[in-house]
A and B are shown apart, each in its own frame.
Chain A
Amino acid sequence: MIELLIMVIKTTVVFGIVLTHVAYTTYAERKIIGRAQARMGPMEVGPHGLLQPIADFIKIFFKEDIVPINAEKFIFQIAPLIVLIFTMINLTVIPFTSNFILADLNVGLLFILASASVSVYGIILAGWSSNSKYSFLGGLRSASQVLSYEIALGLSLAGVVLAAGSLNLRDIVIAQHNTALGVYAIPQIIGFVVFVIAAFAETNRAPFDLPEAETELVAGYLTEYSAFRYALFFLAEYVAMYIMASLCALCFLGGWTIPKFITDILPFLDKVPGIIWFAIKVYAFIFLYIWVRATFPRYRFDQLLNIGWKVLIPAGLVNLILVAFLKRFM
């Protein structure tokens, strides 16, 4: 009984921290994109605009909730929940440090891929149940984008699993720490690049954010969603960004460890707690997300699918073969 209580408290703490991060990521995004475009970003609410996410949350809470007339009411209501639940459920298998993990699954990586597969249904159902042609087409487009890049994501992670010998995320980090270079991003640079590009496409972020661009099909599958349901979709998107950033940090950048050759040179770095390194890597990846959004134009849909099928999958396969060679002969 007491273990159940401890588990509930741990889960609440993790979800609370991640949701606070998500709220302030929206603020950070507006600030960073503002600075990249030579303007200041939000400055009004609170000192330097720091209370902006709270103001946004209060505004969304009070907006009117519209359900289209001929929409399938039940499916319309649960579609954002499907996306949100199957995105937040990934947080339970991420090891933030060497002994803090909510559920130490032996197939943790496969669990993340499985929940990514099921969350596609939220997008398809959101598009279909809105009973509008634009939403429907936007939903199918977005779903085919996510499905295509899921394969590339899986292939790049397959290289990591092959090198580490386990699907358990903690074992992957520990195996990574024991290699010569300390991170998997350097020997598997192709896989790392494939993973980063696939992560951008999986979370519907720029430059693959066709469903969210206002000039394309209005807003894709999100068109008919207002107020709180829209906020749920965006919550799911930002949590997915954090999941991809955590996955990149764990599988390719060394998780909560620092490579051995750096601690040989600067031994005081060993005393820094692991969570700080993990946080630095995750924040760096989130900054990359925001930076890319401010910099690149978005891809057209057929260009997007071309990249997913014709460029990333062969690159992932080449990476897998290279990793197999390295593991066999080294």
Chain B
Amino acid sequence: MVELLFGYFAIVIITSALFGVTRKNLVHSLLWILLMFVHLGGLYLLLNAEFLAMVQIIVYAGAILVMFLFVVFLLNLKEETKEPVFIHSWQGRIYGVLILLFFALFGAFTYKKTHTGSFTIELIDKQGHTKTIGTALFNEYLFPFLILGFILLVPLIGVGIVAVRRKANGTS
């Protein structure tokens, strides 16, 4: 059952990523990427990471992609229908990318397991994934967490400055 679900999620993720990067209409490609994000959330559920799955859907599918959509709508971005989608030298780059992908897949399939930690699946099933992440995040990684708060504060201030300066300039 898990294999079937993984197969479905993997096929939909790859297909929607491929469609998403090749569409001419920007909004269509964003909608394919939305499908990819939701299926990524489902994939995290298969990996026993339910809190991370919900966070992925709330943050990526529910906030970041909505930001993208708002920018596309408010700037009224339209692709010209006569222009090609990719730049003129895309054949060379796809060969390079495919060669690197071959090496990456070779590395993926010859991986040997070296290390086993202590957060077993039984532990996560017993005390809940949220509590596991919570105890690790607030005990061992508290300092990075506080820095993350500052990192998220910076765009907030930046957006405020850019928006206010626009009103002061008088241009729209």
Contact = CB atoms under 8 A, between A and B. Distances in A.
B34 A114 contact: no
Interface stretch (B3-11, B62-70, B162-170): B62-70
Given A117-B62, A140-B73, A106 B129 contact: yes
Contact of B50 (A106, A121, A136, A166): A106
B57 interface: yes
A167 B128 CA distance: 10
Contact of A107 (B27, B34, B54, B62): B54
Nearest to A161: B130
B58 interface: yes
A136 B73 CA distance: 9
Give the size range of B's interface with the partner: 20 to 34
Interface residues of A, number: 22
A107 B50 contact: yes
B66 to A, nearest CB: 6
Contacts of A128: 27, 73
Interface string B17-50: 0000000000100010010001001000000001
Contacts, number: 53
A136 B128 CA distance: 42
B12 interface: no
Contact of B38 (A107, A118, A143, A147): A118
A117 B129 CA distance: 21
Contacts of B128: 106, 166
B51 A117 contact: no
A114 B27 contact: no
A250 interface: no
A124 interface: yes
A148 to B, nearest CB: 12
A135 to B, nearest CB: 12
B54 A110 contact: yes
A147 B57 contact: no
A114 B58 contact: yes
Interface string A138-160: 00100110010000000000000
A128 to B, nearest CB: 7
A166 B62 CA distance: 23
Given A106-B130, A167-B130, A120 B50 contact: no
B62 A118 contact: yes
Given A106-B129, A124-B66, A143-B66, A117 B73 contact: no
Contacts of A105: 50
Contacts of A106: 50, 128-130
Given A110-B51, A118-B38, A124 B58 contact: no
Interface string B71-84: 00110000000000
Contacts of B51: 107, 110
B76 to A, nearest CB: 10
B50 A117 contact: no
A24 interface: no
A106 B62 CA distance: 21
A105 B53 CA distance: 13
Nearest to B127: A106
A120 B27 contact: no
Contacts of B57: 114, 117-118
Contact of B61 (A107, A113, A117): A117
Contact of A140 (B58, B61, B70): B70
Given A106-B128, A144-B70, 11 more contacts: A107-B129, A107-B130, A114-B54, A114-B57, A114-B62, A117-B63, A118-B61, A120-B66, A124-B69, A140-B70, A140-B73
Nearest 7 A-B pairs (CB), nearest first?
Answer: A117-B62, A110-B54, A114-B57, A114-B58, A114-B54, A117-B58, A106-B128
14 contacts: A106-B129, A107-B51, A107-B54, A110-B51, A110-B58, A117-B62, A117-B63, A118-B38, A118-B57, A118-B62, A120-B62, A121-B34, A124-B66, A167-B130
